[in-house]
Amino acid sequence: MDVAFPSGADTCAAWLYLPERTEGERPPVVILGHGLGGVREMRLDAFAECFCEKGYACLVFDYRHFGASTGDPRQLINIDRELADWRAALAYVRSHDEVDGSRVALFGSSFGGGLVIDVAAADGGVSAVISQCPFTDGFASARAGGAVSTARVSVRAIRDVASATFRRRPVMVALAGPPRSAALMTAPDCGPGYAALADLAPTFRNEVCARFALDIARYFPGRRAKDVNCPIFFALCRDDSVAPASATRRHAQRAHRGEVVEYPCGHFDIYLGDPFERAVTDYIDFLKRQLPTG
């Protein structure tokens, strides 16, 4: 069902999935959020449907400034605001009458996979975390983009900051593009990978406000893995060209209750086909062990 919850002065649009249950039963709930510029139609619904079939309620939301959520300017990635959106989603499910707000898991993918580490570490009351192909190390991801693309994006980012200062129209940059282009992700598999997911999402736009590029190399959510006190499942894509698996391995080793599984695929492959089927089976096994359903 369509629902919404407040975050700051704006509203996050979401879907709430409720499993079949006996009268009065309140199931545990999984909150799902996407990565860079992603919207919920880009296969988060597929994960939620699988979890719901196994007895879990699911809340799948769009960050502010994206998809069906409110927020201006559009297509703005702001780390602090997206962390606040996760906290707002937690507050929403914890106060909902039809789910067990004391048993909440977080599922974040790509950039969202890094955000959930940060959120769980700060919150302390989350029951479990699934961090899929996670962005954990800003420096590693910035290097993966290549020097030429980084330089071209940086020029636009500086122009966008100036535009924001004078309240002018944002300067945009592509999320995914060909090698050496002015895009945040430029590995050969990024364009086709994003396109395969974008075909499922009519609200998706392959652009964001360029100012975000100045924040990427300074954000290291993986460093907070050591502060997560609940079980956390790290799903690494072995051939990840966006969020290098080597960086995540280092951070995951510091998690007190971490589990690491590597999948022989690229960053965008895990949303579809056999990699998806294998991964979602592992996620359900993890959830069943950490948050048993009735």
pLDDT at 139 over 90: no
Q: Is the dihedral of CA 36, 41, 43, 47 positive or negative?
A: positive
Predicted local confidence at residue 140, as pLDDT:
82
Q: Per-residue pLDDT tens for 1-41?
A: 999 999 999 999 999 999 998 888 899 999 999 999 999 99
- pLDDT tens for residues 213-222? 999 889 999 9
pLDDT at 222: 96
217-245, pLDDT tens digit by residue? 899 999 999 999 999 999 999 999 999 99
pLDDT tens digits, one per residue of 56-74: 999 999 999 999 999 999 9
Residue 265: name the closest of 257, 256, 255, 275 by CA.
Answer: 275
DSSP of 108-145: EETHHHHHHHHHHHHH----EEEEES----HHHHHHHT
Rounded to whole angstroms, the Cα distance separating 120 from 112 reads 12
pLDDT for the residue 276: 98
Q: In what order do the strands lie in the sheet with 183-185?
A: 183-185, 172-176, 208-209
Of all residues in the chain, the percent with pLDDT exceeding 70 is: 99
The first and second tokens of residue 36, run together, are 């860079």
pLDDT tens figures, 256-266: 999 999 999 99
Instruction: Identify the structural domains of the chain with CATH numbers, from first to last.
Output: 2-142+219-290 (3.40.50.1820)
Question: Would you state the pLDDT for residue 282?
Answer: 98
179/144: higher pLDDT: 179
DSSP calls for the chain:
-EEEEEETTEEEEEEEE-----TT----EEEEE--TT--TTTTHHHHHHHHHHTT-EEEEEPPTTSTTS--SSTT---HHHHHHHHHHHHHHHHT-TTS-TTSEEEEEETHHHHHHHHHHHHH----EEEEES----HHHHHHHT-HHHHHHHHHHHHHHHHHHHTT-PPPEEEEE-STTSSEEE-STTHHHHHHHHHTT-TT--S-EEGGGHHHHTT--GGGGGGG--S-EEEEEETT-SSS-HHHHHHHHTT-TTEEEEEESS-TTGGGSHHHHHHHHHHHHHHHHHHS---
Confidence of residue 146 (pLDDT cuts 50, 70, 90): confident
- Mean pLDDT of the 284-289 span: 98
Q: According to the model, what pLDDT value does residue 191 have?
A: 87
Bigger pLDDT: 51 vs 198: 51
Q: Which residue has the higher pLDDT, 138 or 13?
A: 13
Q: What is the pLDDT of residue 21?
A: 84
pLDDT, residue 156, reads 95
Check pLDDT > 90 for residue 120.
yes
Q: Return mean pLDDT, the chain.
A: 95
Query: What is the model's pLDDT at position 19?
Result: 96
- 294 pLDDT higher than 80: no
pLDDT digits (tens, 9 = 90+) for 152-166: 999 999 999 999 999
Nearest to 181 by CA among 204, 206, 163: 206
Q: How much of the chain, in percent, has pLDDT values that exceed 90? A: 87
**What is the structure's pLDDT at 36?**
92
CA distance 67 to 89: 16
What's the pLDDT band for 105 if we cut at 50, 70, 90?
very high
